[in-house]
Chain A
């Protein structure tokens, strides 16, 4: 009986996943009077928790790969907040590689962000006070999380914790010394006033409405098809 339960648990763990919602992008300030030919903007590229929680519970380090024209284009950030500030004039693609703690995942993950300095609306005046901000929302999904991973992140606000299969219990979490560590969350980050809000509610509503329309249309078509079939039937019996 015990072994049978173990097998069921093994099977169900297959469908368990931990997801970490993140937002990554950049904020760029025009330097105005202080701008030079090669340094017209000051920009910060970053990866943050979607609700501004500390990502360092899963992310060990982030590596930002900049354009080769930069000195030491491979910038390694070992602690949260995972960000990088530079000045320049050009827009280019930045490859961000996230390395996770050993108990989380041994494989790194790549993100790609196109650095944006200039506003979409080219006609508007450039401001030194209001930055150009481009952010993307995504979720990092970890499949088949190990028990130590689950134990470590349970109750952590940055992580979407899955529902565990019945009868499964985790050991209590190891208490972390929070006071000694630097704050890794971005709640009071200097750029936080510019961060965008991502709410799934709007998108869900949009999708639900669209699905409703499509389903109605499908039903109508099915009716029409059976009607036409009925009309065609007498001819086919010949």
Chain B
């Protein structure tokens, strides 16, 4: 009785009969006795509630009223020139074998290589760099190998590059086409005319391709960096220039006559001013570029709210920081008793607020830097992984980079700076984006960009 109380089960006998009724249904779902649950599950266990595929439907085939037999019969193919007779299994329906050509004969396609007569060669196709013999050979091979120039280049006894062969082939074909065309009008539609083969371009293209293919990882990274930098500079220049343009017509409002005179002879001065401004507004660091483009876009708005402007400037200043850093900045502001959004956003207050945020970012960066250097220091002194301070991923990486200082007893016997290091780091840290240390530990003289993974 107490047990029933605890379980919350009803005590009346009526409910017991109800239980009995519901049980048979459940029993059919339960596993059969005699084997354990896990073993039963291995065999497929209890059926799922929804039948996925109706197995009984699978084996059924439409009842066929045809009589099918398979016979070993001879066949020929129109794709062959020699009338060779081969044998294969054929599906015979009601005693009637299938008719028609060999089913794969239709795939025997080849290229229509234009062949010239000797006359035509004399008239249009002579070339100082090619003999008639060679050209004939080339065309034979082109026909034989369906314009597979790599093979053709191999087969020709003379050493010519693929581009040279292509050039000769296409220019000869084009010349013949033009010569044979009854009138000039019929020619332009032909693909040979529409897209002539450009040898120099092809050589250049292939050279560039092979250069890109053989680029080292290092080179690739450098290239993307430079491109990104160039893009940023171009964008900020564009924003600054766009801001410049409305200036000149807007200020024409100031006194019509004097403005005309100013524009008249000021023409030489103002365009250069615009250029100077644009150049000045495109500095090298990304933070200043963000700021100036924000200012430029605000100016373009003509009217805006101070709070909106502050939001934009804060975003621009934090553009290089990850989400976690931004949260930490906000936490710091709260700890300092400063409103995240100023209650009285005057020009002065907004400026101070922005400066404060930038200073906090600097503070956080310095904290990270110090942590890193301290971890470095203790790894130098201790020389073993066991004493690593805390679980900071930063310090782990610092240790990994100091491989030269670690005694051989530690398991990572990998030379620093090669790919092995990167893989090791990946295994150690859970899903951390690591970079191959390209320089010895601590020699990071350039200010590093903050990454989300750094926090």
Q: Measuring CB to CB, which residues of chain A are less than 8 angstroms from any residue of chain B?
A: 2-4, 6-7, 9-11, 13-14, 19, 21, 100, 105-107, 109, 111, 137-144, 146-148, 198-200, 202-204, 206-211, 213-215, 217-218, 221-222, 224-225, 228-229, 231-232, 235-236, 238
> Which B8-48 residues have a C-beta within 8 angstroms of A?
none
Give CA–CA (A217, B367) in the complex, Å.
Answer: 10
Q: Are A224 and B302 in contact (CB under 8 A)?
A: no
> With contacts A144-B246, A211-B359 known, what are 7 further pairs, Cβ within 8 A?
A13-B247, A19-B306, A137-B345, A138-B345, A221-B369, A236-B440, A238-B404
CB distance from A139 to the nearest CB of B (A): 4
In the complex, the answer to whether B343 meets A203 with C-beta atoms within 8 Å is yes
Instruction: Name the residue on A nearest B404 (C-beta).
Output: A238
Q: List 27 A-B contacts (CB under 8 A).
A: A2-B262, A3-B262, A7-B266, A10-B251, A11-B247, A105-B302, A105-B303, A107-B303, A109-B304, A109-B305, A137-B343, A138-B345, A141-B303, A144-B247, A144-B250, A199-B344, A200-B344, A200-B346, A204-B348, A207-B353, A210-B333, A210-B338, A211-B359, A221-B366, A224-B370, A232-B373, A236-B443
Partner of B336, one of A14, A202, A213: A213
B414 at the interface (CB under 8 A from A): no
- For B342, the chain A residues whose CB sits under 8 A away are 203
- Interchain CB contact under 8 A, A206 and B338: yes
CA distance A88 to B261 in the complex (A): 61
Residue of chain B at shortest CB distance from A221: B366
CA distance A231 to B254 in the complex (A): 64
- Asked if B284 is an interface residue, CB under 8 A from chain A, the answer is no
Q: How far is the CA of A200 from the CA of B347 in the complex (A)?
A: 10
Q: Tell me which of A2, A105, A207, A215 contacts B349 (CB under 8 A).
A: A207
Question: For residue A235, which residue of chain B has the nearest CB?
Answer: B380
* A contact residues around B332 at 8 Å (CB): 214
Query: 1/0 per residue B351-367: CB within 8 Å of A?
Result: 01101100110110011
B306 partner, pick from A138, A211, A218, A235, beta carbons under 8 A: A138
Cβ–Cβ contact A143 & B301, under 8 A: yes
- Please tell me if the beta carbons of B346 and A139 are within 8 angstroms of each other in the complex: yes
- Bound together, the chains give a CA A238 to CA B307 distance in angstroms of 54
Q: Which 7 A-B pairs have the closest CB atoms?
A: A139-B306, A235-B380, A6-B262, A210-B336, A207-B352, A221-B366, A10-B251
B400 interfacial by beta-carbon distance below 8 Å: no
Cα-based distance from A85 to B349 in the complex (angstroms): 32
DSSP majority for the A interface?
helix
CB < 8 Å neighbour of A141 from B304, B376, B440: B304
Q: What is the minimal beta-carbon distance from A235 to any residue of chain B, in angstroms?
A: 4
Given the interface pairs A100-B303, A221-B366, the reply to whether A214 lies near B262 with Cβ below 8 Å is no
The answer to whether the Cβ of B198 comes within 8 Å of any Cβ in the partner chain is no
Q: Which residue of A lies closest to B304 (CB)?
A: A141
Report the separation of the CA atoms of residues A202 and B253 in the bound assembly, to the nearest whole angstrom.
41
Query: Please, which residues of chain A bring their CB within 8 A of the CB of B230?
Result: none
Docked pose: A138 CA to B342 CA in angstroms: 10
Could you tell me if B303 and A143 are in contact, using CB atoms closer than 8 angstroms?
A: yes
Which residues of chain B have C-beta atoms less than 8 A from A235's C-beta?
380, 405
Please provide the chain B residues from 312 to 349 with a CB less than 8 Å away from any CB of chain A in the complex: 332-333, 336-339, 342-349
- Contacting residues, chain B, for A111 (C-beta < 8 A): 305
By a CB distance below 8 angstroms, the chain B residues around A202 are 344
Question: Chain B nearest CB: distance from A121 CB in Å?
Answer: 20
Q: Take A6-B266, A10-B247, A107-B303 as given contacts and tell me if A211 and B366 are in contact as well, using a CB distance cutoff of 8 Å.
A: no
CA distance A209 to B404 in the complex (A): 47
* B366 A232 Cβ-Cβ under 8 A: no
Q: Please give the distance in Å from B395's CB to the nearest CB on chain A.
A: 13
| CB-based nearest B residue for A197 | B344
The CA-CA distance from A236 to B398 in the complex, in Å, is 13
Distance of A109 Cα from B373 Cα, bound (Å): 50
- Among B262, B333, B338, B376, the residue within 8 A (CB) of A232 is B376
Report the bound CA distance from A21 to B258 in whole Å. 34
Q: Is the C-beta of B49 less than 8 angstroms from some C-beta in chain A?
A: no
Please give the distance in Å from A168's CB to the nearest CB on chain B.
8
In the complex, are the beta carbons of A214 and B349 less than 8 A apart? Answer: no
Shortest beta-carbon distance from A151 to chain B in Å: 11
Cα distance A90–B345 when bound, in Å?
A: 29
Q: A residues within 8 A CB of B377?
A: 228, 231-232
Shortest beta-carbon distance from A79 to chain B in Å: 20
> Roughly how many angstroms separate A43 CA and B284 CA in the complex, as a whole number?
54
Q: Judging by beta carbons under 8 Å apart, are A222 and B366 in contact?
A: yes
B305 touches A138 (CB 8 A): yes
Q: Give min CB distance, B291 to chain A, whole Å.
A: 15
B275 to chain A, nearest CB (A): 13
Q: CA A7 – CA B262 in complex, angstroms? A: 8
CB pair A232 B343 closer than 8 Å = no
Known: A199-B344, A228-B377, A232-B442. A143 touches B356 (CB 8 A): no
Q: Is residue B374 within 8 Å, beta carbon to beta carbon, of the partner chain?
A: yes
Return the chain B residue nearest A110 by Cβ. Answer: B305
B309: CB under 8 A from chain A?
yes
**Looking across the interface, which residue of chain A has its beta carbon closest to that of B252?**
A10
In the complex, which residues of chain A have a beta carbon less than 8 angstroms from the beta carbon of B253? 146-148
Question: CB-CB < 8 A to A231: which residues of B?
Answer: 377
Query: Is there contact, CB below 8 Å, between B338 and A207?
Result: yes
When distances are taken between beta carbons in the complex, the residues of chain B under 8 Å from A9 are 251, 254
Given contacts A3-B269, A214-B356, contact A144 B306 (CB under 8 A): no
A214 surroundings in chain B (CB, below 8 A): 332, 336, 356, 359-360, 363
- Let me know if B273 is at the binding interface, CB within 8 A: yes
Q: Is B265 close to A, CB under 8 A?
A: yes
Determine whether the beta carbon of A7 is less than 8 Å from that of B343: no
CB distance from B182 to the nearest CB of A (A): 66
Determine the chain B residues whose CB is within 8 A of the CB of A6 once the complex forms: 258-259, 262, 266
Say yes or no: is B270 at the interface (Cβ < 8 Å to chain A): yes
Please, how many angstroms separate the alpha-carbon atoms of A207 and B342 in the complex? 10
Q: Which residues from chain A contact B246 at a C-beta distance below 8 Å?
A: 144
Asked if residues A225 and B370 are in contact (CB atoms below 8 Å), the reply is: yes
